A = this chain, B = another copy of it.
Amino acid sequence: MSKVEPARLFSALGDATRLSMLSRLSDGCTLSIVQLGDGLAISRQGVAKHLDVLHGAGLVDRRKSGREVHYALRREAIEAARTWLDEVNSQWDGTLARLKAFVEDGDG
């Protein structure tokens, strides 16, 4: 799973329920399915499916402990998503910089 596809990553992030789960994990804690679904108004199975999506996208780690399964945020995935966005921004910046240089060179 070294190569994380951006589309899958963003797709997994594209759901408010999953974002709230990730927020809950964002302090580095590790939570079970029941804990993650607490207060979410959807069934335990619904929660499990969301976690499958997050795990499939590489956004969370899954670790079995006794009869529980604990989930933790995978920071690399968050950074992979950020990297994609950064590339878009830097390309924009690069173009503006080149444009600025061109204008200044020709005009000034």
Contacts and interface: CB of A to CB of B under 8 A. Distances in A.
Contacts of A92: 26-28, 73, 75
A79 B89 contact: yes
Interface stretch (A10-18, A31-39, A44-52): A10-18
Interface of chain A: mostly helix, strand, loop or mixed? helix
A96 interface: yes
Interface residues of A, number: 35
Nearest to A89: B78
A68 interface: no
A23 B13 CA distance: 19
The 3 closest A-B CB pairs, nearest first, are A11-B14, A10-B13, A10-B14
